[in-house]
Structure 1
Amino acid sequence: MERRPTIKDVAREAGVSKSTVSLVLQGSSLVKSETREHVQKVMAEIGYVYNRAAAKLRSGSTGLIGLVINDLRNPFFSELAASLQRSLSQQDYAAVVANTEEDPALQQKMINALIEHGVSAFVICPTYDDSGQTLEPIARAGLPAMQVFRRVDNRLDKFPFAAPDYAEGGRLATKHLLEQGAKRIAFVGGLDGRPVTQERVSGYLKVMEERGQQSVVLTGAATRQFGREQAQVLQERFPEVDGVICFNDLVALGLVASASAQGRVIGAELRVVGVDNIEECAHSAPPLSSVSCRIPEFATHISDTLLGWLNQGPAPAPDVRTPVSLMVRASSGES
């Protein structure tokens, strides 16, 4: 059996030092482009394959990042996981994804299992756990971890938090509906008392107060079924409502389907805006306006921040909000 080529072999064939080959493998800007190309050509010619896992182990890092996601059946969180995985891979880290299905007990099992398998750090979009112990195993292990979208631990020096600027998203959506001619606007969805619900509804409430308008807030599960049910509630209890901002796109899609079945013309008689801008928004009937969380950009921010922290860089800011934008489509009366 032939021996696998080593860095020494590459250095000898290329006529450079071992340290130069190492710098090429690390993608260092200290190596001239001509030298890099020459070394890479030699690697290909002699069949050298970089054992990145061994290198990570030698440096004390496995190169694995645990992504603990609350519900991968929701297309928004699937996009988040895929974008984070892609962004981490571009920096030579691999993501290990755990879906907790909004189950606190399963979440604890997944976190413990990932720690046992030696992940170097965590990104966690947690399910809610009233025990207050969600992140305690990570704290005991001394691993860097960032909370995203939901905050369940207020020790932000240990577990910094980042989320899109949902308050701004609510302001953008409310102002848009008013500009489109809506006279009475409601906010639908989101569990009552949850910080993420309070943040998403806050922008709406602020604009309504500024305009001297009465608010209508119907809280509940962030699901299509809840959206379908609330279309009936709006028709029976608030028939004057002609504009709706939904907690997320799933609620909005359910509400649009049910309101359409009632005979209401979406985009004219009833204007609807969701939040998250999942792929389905552009293909629904009618296409759904939505507040975009700009997930690819968000994922890049999170991976850059976490890996910088992991590699002895500065500690992340404790609480960060990233930009959002409004994607206007026919459901809100696109002109």
Structure 2
Amino acid sequence: MERRPTIIDVARVAGISKSTVSLVLQNSPLVKDETRRLVREAMDKVGYVYNRAAANLRSSNVGLIGLVINDLRNPFFTEFATSLQMALSARGYATVVANTDEDPAVQAQVVGAMIEHGVSALVLSPAYGDEGGTFDAIARGGIPTMQVLRKVDPRVEQFPFAAPDYRLGSLLAARHLMMSNPARIAFVGGLADRAVTRERMAGYFEALAEVGMEPFVLSGRASRAFGREAAGQLVRTHPEIDAAICFNDLVALGMLSGFAERDRKVGRDFQIVGFDDIEECGQVFPALSTVHCGVAEFGRSIAATVLAWLEEGQRPQPETLTGVELVVRNTSGERRNA
């Protein structure tokens, strides 16, 4: 028996995603007229006949976007998820959000469930670990998927990647700290075996190499608890270190507490720059200098990118890095004498 044409066949001939074909078949107002014409021509070419009765049973899932985040407890990721969800909502899409808590098994489970429930697209800030299973399942489903904030699967032609320019961020931070003539600058936090840690350290290594300063890396979890512990460790075992770039703001905020416990004044006795610019950075005392990643704007841009992919067939670039800037506050704003 000859195989009946499917929307996957239509999508292939039209050169767009099957999710976009579904939107056309549902008469979505979000699709451009030109895209509708391409789909209708492809339907005629492959002999596809739309079964509206069957499709109505699935219509509640059309326009549903899956958002999977590795750590929603971190305000950086929460702000990204919120801004993306609101931007999608403004365009008539619903978002289902899942937190994996850095567990690849949980990630595989929630992604599988989203695929079964017919999401039109997926946005993943992926967990590290057994990522092959998750992304292979997505590939089999033919679902448009973006990796954001961290790149885990190398197949960026299939799973495009976007993130702030982490290397530039640590480069700006290190050069800024150099201006206060530190004896030595540390990089604190981040697990050494993760690509995102290497990316956030890259500019730090580059800046130190420019002036011949020896780097010092204190690896650990990206948490307040580790930052507080790291401050004590530096005071006890490396008193010559008088400045630090932190993997993220949570580590930096923890260091503020750790130095306060030891009566060391951050901004005068020790200079700190965080990374991400979460809201709390400007509210703590002393206010935290940090690398601003514009994560809210980033979330909105990812929403626009995903919708252009779905509605217009515009596949994103394989890799996209967005701009960052240094925000100087009190933890590195006081200048010491040379």
Would you call these one fold, judging by a TM-score over 0.5? yes
Instruction: Check conservation: 1:134, 1:152, Cα contact below 8 A.
Output: no
1:112 matched to 2:112? The reply is: yes
Q: How do 1:1-335 and structure 2 match up within 5 A?
A: 62-130=62-130, 132-334=132-334
Alpha-carbon distance in 2 for matches of 1:312, 1:28: 7
Letter in 1 for 2:294: R
Instruction: Check conservation: 2:123, 2:145, Cα contact below 8 A.
Output: yes
> Which deviations, in whole Å up to 9, do the C-alpha atoms of 1:259-309 show, x marking residues without a partner?
121111110110101101111111112111111110122112211111111
Alpha-carbon distance in 2 for matches of 1:334, 1:270: 10
> Which deviations, in whole Å up to 9, do the C-alpha atoms of 1:106-151 show, x marking residues without a partner?
1111101111111100000011123632212111100000001121
Alpha-carbon distance in 2 for matches of 1:94, 1:231: 43
Alpha-carbon distance in 2 for matches of 1:241, 1:91: 50
Instruction: Check conservation: 1:273, 1:291, Cα contact below 8 A.
Output: yes
Aligned length: 288
Partner SS state of residue 133, structure 1: helix
Instruction: Check conservation: 2:61, 2:117, Cα contact below 8 A.
Output: no
Partner SS state of residue 222, structure 2: coil
> Which deviations, in whole Å up to 9, do the C-alpha atoms of 1:174-206 show, x marking residues without a partner?
111111333311100111121100010000000
Superposition TM-score, scaled by structure 1 size? 0.81
Q: Which has the higher contact order (CA 8 A, sep 6+)?
A: 2
Alpha-carbon distance in 2 for matches of 1:307, 1:114: 18
Alpha-carbon distance in 2 for matches of 1:315, 1:80: 21
Tell me the CA shift for residue 90 of structure 1: 2.3
Partner SS state of residue 118, structure 1: coil
Instruction: Check conservation: 2:131, 2:152, Cα contact below 8 A.
Output: no
Structure 2 runs not aligned, ≥5 long = 1-26, 34-54
Deviates more, 1:94-103 or 1:310-319: 310-319
Deviates more, 1:256-265 or 1:303-312: 303-312
Partner SS state of residue 291, structure 1: strand
Tell me the CA shift for residue 101 of structure 1: 1.4
Structure 1 runs not aligned, ≥5 long = 1-22, 30-53
Alpha-carbon distance in 2 for matches of 1:307, 1:27: 10
Alpha-carbon distance in 1 for matches of 2:90, 2:266: 42
Partner SS state of residue 132, structure 1: helix
Letter in 1 for 2:293: C
Deviates more, 1:313-322 or 1:239-248: 313-322
Alpha-carbon distance in 1 for matches of 2:153, 2:263: 45
Instruction: Check conservation: 1:126, 1:147, Cα contact below 8 A.
Output: yes
Alpha-carbon distance in 2 for matches of 1:112, 1:252: 36
Letter in 2 for 1:325: E
Instruction: Check conservation: 2:287, 2:329, Cα contact below 8 A.
Output: yes
Superposition TM-score, scaled by structure 2 size? 0.80
| Overall identity of the aligned pairs, in % | 51
Deviates more, 1:187-196 or 1:175-184: 175-184
Distance 1:103 1:178, change over 3 A: same
Aligned to 1:47: none
Letter in 1 for 2:230: Q
Tell me the CA shift for residue 207 of structure 1: 0.4
Instruction: Check conservation: 2:246, 2:272, Cα contact below 8 A.
Output: yes
Deviating above 6 A after TM superposition, structure 1's stretches of 4 or more consecutive aligned residues are: none
Instruction: Check conservation: 1:273, 1:290, Cα contact below 8 A.
Output: yes
Partner SS state of residue 135, structure 1: helix
Aligned to 1:49: none
